[in-house]
């Protein structure tokens, strides 16, 4: 630490009147991010960006925060207990203190997480790291006054294309995009109908009109993707986003099929490439995922899958382990013990895996089933085990789904408020 009273072996944290003494070495790797940032401060200005006041004579840092909440948080980071809400303190206020010091909702005990979820659901509140005054602070920097109009214009364009509820123009743009998605899906589904194919073979103009509609939809999606790429803040981050990757997967097959048609023409080569063209044509079904940009439900599903990938992997591991065990046992009981009266459906372990997976998920198509008494007992155990194993990770996934829903709903409500203000102005 390069700032502070020289020779002092410790520093004092004054949080709402409660004073805590910490050594400099402990301060360097302190679990709370805001406290550990003090170690890298090089000037008084840097210190005042972290805390509210500083006394150079006493080497004391003052934080105007809730002292009792900080005491609970400090006990938790020192390993003297589990993090729970402070008594007689609002859950949202305590969560706000956690965010200030650098903790997240996942550090809370499960019972307290449920209380926090219920309170957020009642008040439609969610705390985020975004600060609404960020643009104003940028304008206050040197040279920010000249660049502020262009930044505001780019930010406005970015929100128009990325946030459907951020403005009236964004809502109109989102509605047009949804219409194009629906039209493209209707044309794609109708083109697979036998009557449609027969009519298109007899009437060439019908096929031409469907191709024109398809080209218009692709043109709209391409222009939308290009504009969002131009106005994005980070081009590399833009390319890595899942929704943008899906957009590319939905747009690219059309251009590939057009190029293949141009280069091959109506000849035998095109006939050999017919399977490839049909696969590329069916990849346009990814367009329906574009609706996730405009509906909170689909966004919540995607965000939940992103945050719960560990739980999803754990769920797959449970299923794979159980499938390996039950498929081997069912193959042995149904086919391996008595070859004369063996069940031909369970002739191999891979064939038995299909029966295990539809039994564990309680689907039960009935295309194959055990016929021996031990096999039926094993089938019952397999079904019950599937219910238990699938239910274990669901609690964690549900909890994450609720948090993601509250987060996205709060962000949508915030942009809706800005839309209302814009409409009134």
Cβ-based neighbour number of residue 383 at 10 Å: 16
**% of the chain residues with pLDDT over 70:** 78
Residue range 299-414 forms a domain whose CATH class is: mainly alpha
Segment 166-176, tens digit of pLDDT: 677 877 888 88
Segment 364-419, tens digit of pLDDT: 888 888 888 888 999 999 999 999 888 888 888 888 888 788 777 766 665 555 44
The secondary structure of the chain in percent helix, strand, coil, rounded to multiples of 5, reads: 70, 5, 25
Give the lowest-confidence range in 27-36, 213-222, 341-350, 402-411.
402-411
Homologous superfamily (CATH) for 172-294: Voltage-gated potassium channels. Chain C (1.20.120.350)
Evaluate if residue 347 carries a pLDDT over 80. yes
Residue range 10-108 forms a domain whose CATH class is: alpha beta
- C-alpha 42/C-alpha 27 separation (Å) is 15
- C-alpha 261/C-alpha 277 separation (Å) is 9
pLDDT at residue number 358: 92
| Residue with tokens 């007689």, as numbered in its chain | 88
Evaluate if residue 178 carries a pLDDT over 80. yes
- C-alpha 93/C-alpha 171 separation (Å) is 34
Residue 63: φ, ψ to 5°: -120, 120
Q: How much is the mean pLDDT over the chain?
A: 77
Domain segments of the chain as ranges: 10-108, 172-294, 299-414
370: left (phi over 0), alpha (psi -120 to 50) or beta: beta
User: For residues 408 and 299, is the Cβ–Cβ distance under 8 A?
Assistant: yes
Helix (H/G/I), strand (E/B), else coil: 143: coil
């Amino acid at each position: 630490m390069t700032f502070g009273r020289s020779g002092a072996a410790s520093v004092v944290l004054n949080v709402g009147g409660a004073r805590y003494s910490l050594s400099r070495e402990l301060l360097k790797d302190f679990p709370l991010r805001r406290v550990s940032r003090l170690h890298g401060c090089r000037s008084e200005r840097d210190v005042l960006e972290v805390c509210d006041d500083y006394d150079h004579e006493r080497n004391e840092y003052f934080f105007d925060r809730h002292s009792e909440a900080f005491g609970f948080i400090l006990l938790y980071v020192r390993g003297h207990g589990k993090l729970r809400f402070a008594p007689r303190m609002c859950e949202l206020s305590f969560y706000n203190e956690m965010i200030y010091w650098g903790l997240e909702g996942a550090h809370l005990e499960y019972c307290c997480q449920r209380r926090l979820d219920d309170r957020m659901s009642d008040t439609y509140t969610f705390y985020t790291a975004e600060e609404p005054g960020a643009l104003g602070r940028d304008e206050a920097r040197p040279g920010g006054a000249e660049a502020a109009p262009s930044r505001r214009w780019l930010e406005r364009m970015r929100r128009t294309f990325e946030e459907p509820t951020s403005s009236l123009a964004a809502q109109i743009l989102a509605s047009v995009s949804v219409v194009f998605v629906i039209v493209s899906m209707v044309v794609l589904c109708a083109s697979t109908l036998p009557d449609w194919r027969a009519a298109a073979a007899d009437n060439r103009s019908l096929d031409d009109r469907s191709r024109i509609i398809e080209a218009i939809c692709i043109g709209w999606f391409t222009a939308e993707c290009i504009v969002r790429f131009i106005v994005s803040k980070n081009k590399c981050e833009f390319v890595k986003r899942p929704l943008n990757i899906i957009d590319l997967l939905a747009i690219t097959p059309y251009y590939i099929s057009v190029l293949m048609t141009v280069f091959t023409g109506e000849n035998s080569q095109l006939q050999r490439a017919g399977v490839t063209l049909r696969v590329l044509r069916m990849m346009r079904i990814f367009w329906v995922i574009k609706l996730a940009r405009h509906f909170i439900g689909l966004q919540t599903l995607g965000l939940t899958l992103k945050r719960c990938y560990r739980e999803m992997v754990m769920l797959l591991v449970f299923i794979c382990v159980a499938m390996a065990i039950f498929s081997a046992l069912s193959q042995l009981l149904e086919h391996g013990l008595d070859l004369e009266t063996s069940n031909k459906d369970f002739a191999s372990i891979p064939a038995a895996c299909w029966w295990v997976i539809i039994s564990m998920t309680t689907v039960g198509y009935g295309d194959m089933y055990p016929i021996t008494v031990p096999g039926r007992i094993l089938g019952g155990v397999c079904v019950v085990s599937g219910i238990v194993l699938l239910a274990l990770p669901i609690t964690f996934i549900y909890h994450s789904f609720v948090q993601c829903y509250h987060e996205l709903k709060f962000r949508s409500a915030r942009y809706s408020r800005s839309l209302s203000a814009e409409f009134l102005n």
